[in-house]
Chain A
Amino acid sequence: MAGSKYVCTTSSGKVRRVAVVGGGLAGLMTVIKLCEAGVPVDLFSLVPVKRSHSVCAQGGINASVNTKGEGDSPRVHFEETVLGGDFLAQQPPCLGMADAAPGIVHLLDRMGVPFNRTPEGLLDFRRFGGTLYHRTAFAGATTGQQLLYALDEQVRRFETMQVEDDRGVAIPGEKMVRKFEFWDFVQLVLDDEGTCRGLVAQDLKSMELRAFPADAVCLATGGPGIIFGRSTNSTINTGIANAIAYKQGAVYGNGEMIQIHPTAIPGADKLRLISESARGEGGRVWVPKDPMDKRDPMQIPEKERRYFLEDKYPLYKNLVPRDVASRELFKVCYGEKAGIMGRNEVYLDLTHIPEAMLRKKLAGILEIYEKFVGVDPYHNPMKVFPAVHYSMGGMWVDFERDERGSLKLGSPRNQATSVTGLYNVGESDYQYHGANRLGANSLLSTIYAGMVAGPAIATYVDNLDRSAFDLPAELFSKVEKSEQKKFDDLASRDGTENPYGLHKELGEMMLRDVTIERHNPVLEKVIEKLGELEERYTKVAVVDKSTKANQAIPFMRHLEGMLILARVITEGALARNECRGAHYKPDYDDKNKDATHPIGRDDENWLRSTLAKWGGRDGARSKVSFIREFDYAVGSQKLHATDAIDISLMTLRKRDYTKKKAAFAADPTAAQKPAEAPKPADDAPKA
């Protein structure tokens, strides 16, 4: 495209491209930024990108636009994000994200997202957990779907645009974006120095395996919720892409940090989420004082109900952060056996809110309850229980600080993994949410990461000595052949284990033992059992021999990846002997064993990221090595990274939501300070 200095053709006239794997919000935003910088893209996805998991997000996206006169500002948003994450998040990228948020929401509005409006025609905002401000922009109750469609539309536009050479002449047959939908990423192509030069992917309809050269690869492959069997995630969220990159040497961070959402509908195939926005709009959580109360919940009078969150957290009430709320529900149901009829269920009640208002703001969510449970939530309290929801952990990625201590835009280090030429964005990276994510911060972090990664990658590929498209073809055909061999080998397995059955066992164990409460002796048993499952995996049977749209063999591959990441998660949880955010070990909450509000955070020993590196296999069993530091490179820059958290912008403090405004416990005047001048959300690479 004209205006860019990027030369998108090689000396022999081939079009140079970058590969983006994943077309959720993070991947699509990366693609848009790359195209704007003049870099053509190959985009891979398991499903048409418009069907990516991001469509499931209901509640909204955070941005401190402060339209309600509450004194909200990006600085407050930043502090609440860091505090919500219990200080495990890297602070410079979090500040960059909070500063960019208002610009991002305005951008989405310009793209046509039908955000809800105030009577004046401005954007409307609602409240979410972990804050006292109205900071969440929303489009009905299907915000993720609306955001994904807006980005999908812009990418589709780039699909129709021609690649132009450096003189501005269109290159026949070459479009800015080529989509490979229903393709499964199976391996990175690494050269002798370990630099990423492309990837191998498989067409899930024809089963063809093909190598694609790429000047850089960016994974935007989402979360790994399906490791837990049933969760609020889409069924494609197996985490496989991260497992593959990890096996090829990329460092994985904070795997043990898995968020449990307090309110989901229990179900046999999926645990469907009831968004936090239900509580943001006034929804109340309660159980009958007498658990065995047989009356219809509408007949139970106010004084015979126990609003246990409101009782304990009079300020935040039902909107305490998710880890806190989940543990309270867990304690009421498991600890006190005080769930509805003694079962693992509590009421989430909206019936006191006028139906018309609910229809306007929450119809999308309530429709899910109505459709899948068959009960009308406008006139009956919903029954909910916690479910696995989100992974704060993911691929370790770097960032570069600017003078202000925020993120330096355009630096090729931003979102770079420990493998040169490999980037990672979205739920699949590790850096924005620490030990716990605040509601409505994920949509923001996916888009922000994409905005940062685009320019970072453009700078990186601009400065490459040699393009992947000028390397000998053997580099690619070699990996393509070895992947074909692996696939043929999988296709010929005739063991005794059904892969779907193995997955069910894995999921049930992970869900039971590695979620809300973690106990070391139990985790040790899980690790032993994971080894057994890995051994049994070597005896799987191929249940489908078809050479067309075969889903069974790719599933076997995904299962292998899930077993590997399950170990990273569980061994990380075993090692981290403290309580922090979503990671809760009652045995290490030493000062008060009964507190659901952990005070056992151990900053002296554990204010650091868990860094996991593939340690090869011992027989069939995979091994993890936990490291404290490592060397890596971005282009010609040699770098050294450690597990330290950058806490240069906000000092440590206790995370206590029972009193005062948690974020301002130390500085009650901060909320009144004027908002800092917002930094432009993006820009062309500066390097």
Chain B
Amino acid sequence: MAEGRIITFKIKRSSAGGESHWDEFDIPWEPQMNVISALMHIQRTPKTRDGKTVAPVVWEQACLEEVCGSCSMVINGRVRQACSTLIDALLKDGGSTVTVEPMTKFPLVRDLIVDRSRMFEALKKVKAWIFLDGTHNLGPGPRQAPENQEEAYPLSRCMTCGCCVEACPNVNDSSPFIGAFAISQVRLFNLHPSGKMNANERLDAISGVGGVADCGKAQNCVEVCPKEIPLVDSIAVVGRDTLKRALFGWLLK
């Protein structure tokens, strides 16, 4: 793209009465421009295309390098991280308009900010932690094969950004489905040599209503995950393990 080019940002805003409206901003193209650098530009000069001065857009951000999970938004119809969405890549097939909307599966706070606390609650529910005896010095941890690390590490990069929840057709107002990320965390902790010891607690938390069985295997989640976490594999592994537990759990009783 060339210098002097103008990119139009159509941004969905909250109105005072609780409804939404769109504001359009014209922003000069810059090399390596991304959606956040454009929002920063609006912050400094919050003037719409038709010359009206408005309140700067509000959004969440922190790391600007796609590792904190703050900046998930729906950009040109697809949920993604605003900081790593380069305008050149986004518009590589032409066009000069970028639409930006808040995620829809979480309660709206204002403009592009939504409330993702349900995700952190889900992590409590599935006990996504090691049951540590304490932080006093107990010497080295369990030995682990490099292959174990190679399986765990990608799962451990989940930044609770919510893209998988936004994209999932089975998450909606009338469904309590927990979401792919939480299922994948169950797999992560059940893989760890000491995490395994509480595997059943986690499997129980993810069985039943809102659990892994509510997933319709639509695979939308894996397509949007910015960290390319193998969510469908995780769902398969955890689904199989809950099933096994349901069968043998009953037998053992």
Q: Which residues of A contact B (CB under 8 A)?
A: 32-33, 36, 47-48, 50-53, 55-56, 103, 106-107, 109-112, 114-123, 139-140, 142, 145-146, 149, 153-154, 156-157, 159-160, 205, 234-236, 267-270, 272, 368, 371-374, 451, 498, 500-501, 504, 543-546, 548-552, 680-683
Chain A hits for B137, CB < 8 A: 103, 106-107, 680-682
The dominant DSSP class at the B interface is: loop
**Residue B192 lies at the interface, judged by CB distance under 8 Å to chain A:** yes
Least Cβ–Cβ distance between B226 and chain A, in angstroms = 9
Chain A hits for B55, CB < 8 A: 543-546, 552
A160 to B122, CA, bound (A): 12
Chain B hits for A546, CB < 8 A: 55, 110
Query: Would you call B129 and A153 a contact (CB within 8 A)?
Result: yes
**Residue B51 lies at the interface, judged by CB distance under 8 Å to chain A:** no
Query: Would you call B68 and A111 a contact (CB within 8 A)?
Result: no
A140 to B138, CA, bound (A): 25
Can you list, as one digit per residue, whether each of B11-30 has a CB less than 8 Å from chain A (1) or not (0)?
A: 00000000000000000001
Given contacts A110-B130, A156-B129, contact A235 B140 (CB under 8 A): no
A146 to B191, CA, bound (A): 16
A235 to B130, CA, bound (A): 31
Least Cβ–Cβ distance between B5 and chain A, in angstroms = 15
**Residue B136 lies at the interface, judged by CB distance under 8 Å to chain A:** yes
Can you list, as one digit per residue, whether each of B80-105 has a CB less than 8 Å from chain A (1) or not (0)?
A: 00001010110000000000000000
Q: Which of B50-101 contact A (CB under 8 A)?
A: 55-56, 58, 60-70, 84, 86, 88-89
Query: Would you call B132 and A56 a contact (CB within 8 A)?
Result: no
Point out the residue from A117, A269, A451, A498 that lies within 8 Å of B37, measured CB to CB: A269
Can you list, as one digit per residue, whether each of B149-162 has a CB less than 8 Å from chain A (1) or not (0)?
A: 10011001101100
Least Cβ–Cβ distance between A362 and chain B, in angstroms = 13
Nearest B residue (CB) for A450? B135
Chain A hits for B129, CB < 8 A: 112, 153-154, 156-157
What bracket does the count of chain B residues touching chain A fall in? 35 or more
Point out the residue from A111, A156, A543 that lies within 8 Å of B128, measured CB to CB: A156
Q: Which of B96-119 contact A (CB under 8 A)?
A: 109-111, 113, 115-116
Please choose the segment from B40-48, B164-172, B234-242, B245-253 that sits at the chain A interface, where 4 or more of its residues have CB less than 8 A away: B40-48
Could you list 5 examples of A-B contacts with CB < 8 Å?
A106-B141, A114-B149, A267-B32, A372-B65, A548-B110
Chain B hits for A236, CB < 8 A: 62
Nearest B residue (CB) for A65? B140
Query: Would you call A121 and B146 a contact (CB within 8 A)?
Result: yes
Least Cβ–Cβ distance between B67 and chain A, in angstroms = 5
Chain A hits for B130, CB < 8 A: 110-112, 153-154
Query: Would you call B160 and A142 a contact (CB within 8 A)?
Result: no
Query: Would you call B132 and A111 a contact (CB within 8 A)?
Result: yes
**Residue B139 lies at the interface, judged by CB distance under 8 Å to chain A:** yes
Given contacts A114-B153, A549-B110, contact A374 B89 (CB under 8 A): yes
Query: Would you call B67 and A682 a contact (CB within 8 A)?
Result: no
Query: Would you call B32 and A51 a contact (CB within 8 A)?
Result: no
Point out the residue from A56, A548, A551 that lies within 8 Å of B63, measured CB to CB: A56
A205 to B115, CA, bound (A): 10
A368 to B113, CA, bound (A): 25
Given contacts A118-B146, A549-B109, contact A110 B141 (CB under 8 A): yes
For the complex of A and B, list the 9 residue pairs with the smallest distance between their C-beta atoms, beginning with the closest: A121-B143, A109-B141, A153-B129, A269-B37, A549-B110, A110-B141, A51-B68, A544-B55, A270-B64
Chain A hits for B134, CB < 8 A: 36
Query: Would you call A117 and B159 a contact (CB within 8 A)?
Result: no
A272 to B89, CA, bound (A): 19
Query: Would you call A145 and B67 a contact (CB within 8 A)?
Result: yes
Chain B hits for A159, CB < 8 A: 124
Q: Which of B181-206 contact A (CB under 8 A)?
A: 189, 192, 194-195
A233 to B44, CA, bound (A): 20
Point out the residue from B56, B67, B195 that lies within 8 Å of A543, measured CB to CB: B56
